[in-house]
Amino acid sequence: MTAKPNIRDLSLEEIETLIASLGKEKYRARQIMKWLYSGGATSFSEMTTLSREFRTRMEGIARIIEPAIDLAQTARDGTKKVLFRLEDGLLIESVLIPGRNHWTACISTQAGCAMGCRFCLTGRQGLKRNLLPSEIAGQMTMLRRHTPEGPRIKNIVLMGMGEPLANYDHTLKAIRMLTSDHGLGFSNRKVTVSTCGIVPRIAQLGKEACVNLAISLNAPDDRRRNQLMPVNRKYPLADLLRACNDYPMPGRRMLTFEYILMAGVNDSPTDAEQLARLLRGLRCKLNLIAFNAFPGSDYRTPTPEAISAFQQILLDRHYTAILRASHGRDILAACGQLSGEAPSGRGFPPQE
């Protein structure tokens, strides 16, 4: 017997096709989408603009499943890490990062990660599985409805556990759910996809979704990037930068390059000068991130003096180089620290 589809995995067009089998009009699919994403419906019985007979028939052919909030932790700086439990029992994490008058949600696209970046705790677990569209977009629907910060989330970064472009089809579908007028309605200018550099998928994303692109760079040459990020052996810097140069960034938007500074590895003045030469001609900004240590890590955080000197060299060469504060380090919520493991201690209980 075929399992009933989770309607949250379906696009508007797919829901139209599904309800056509019941002889229903296409516009009913838009009503269902509104209930799912604006109305917060968790069952068809709640969709009171649909007839009782239609709701009963929908229950017979589809179901509604979302990730469940298992635990939430709050760091000293106000950052929140939310642990989600999926239908099969796997755990993933999202992070809520405070801004001046808003919050940014950092969400996951995979349980674990296969990329094997040596400075990343998530990568040490390996890949457990890709997340479904409902599990990617579902992090946002749950954060919106079940956290106090939810209504003030203005930005979404697909920068949590996993490599978004290695789960391309499901990530693209989730992006459309997040940005569609029939979905959560976020502007595509407020959505950023972060990738370690899967070159063919970068080109594809540029054609199929108009979202911001962030590249996890972390080294100014192929030798060191090969060591830190195995993906570079398949897609070296020349290919990566060519794809970045071709990526469409309308208006005043810029590419973002993320550069994690690791003491004695990639943080010298010479490295900064080499990085400036490497990115010459690209309309971009740099986010400099001091390495966030985690248990068993092989790397160290640079000194404040080394970080400042590195940043100044880039500024002197007319780059926008922002030193990103590390949020949530005391609860392992900072960049590269997500593990999807339940900690000891208490958070708030699962939602009703």
- Residues taking part in catalysis: 93, 335
Q: How many Å apart are CA 204 and CA 86, to the nearest integer?
A: 29
Question: What three-state secondary structure class fits 322?
Answer: strand
Contact 134, 86 (CB under 8 A): no
In sequence order, the β-bridge partners of residue 194 are 214
Residue 282 Cα distances to 27, 278, 288, angstroms: 45, 9, 17
Q: How many Å apart are CA 301 and CA 306, to the nearest integer?
A: 10
Question: What three-state secondary structure class fits 290?
Answer: strand
**Tokens linked to 5:** 């589809």
Query: Reading across the β-sheet that carries 80-85, which strands appear in turn?
Result: 68-74, 80-85, 91-98, 103-107, 153-158, 191-195, 212-216, 255-261, 284-290, 320-324
Long-range CB contacts for residues 48-54, cutoff 8 Å, separation at least 24 = 54/22, 54/24, 54/28
In sequence order, the β-bridge partners of residue 259 are 288
Contact 258, 322 (CB under 8 A): no
Listed residue (344, 352, 341, 346) closest to 84, CA to CA: 341
Question: What three-state secondary structure class fits 188?
Answer: helix
**Tokens linked to 286:** 């740099």
Listed residue (238, 207, 208, 209) closest to 222, CA to CA: 238
- Count of CB atoms within 10 A of residue 189's CB? 14
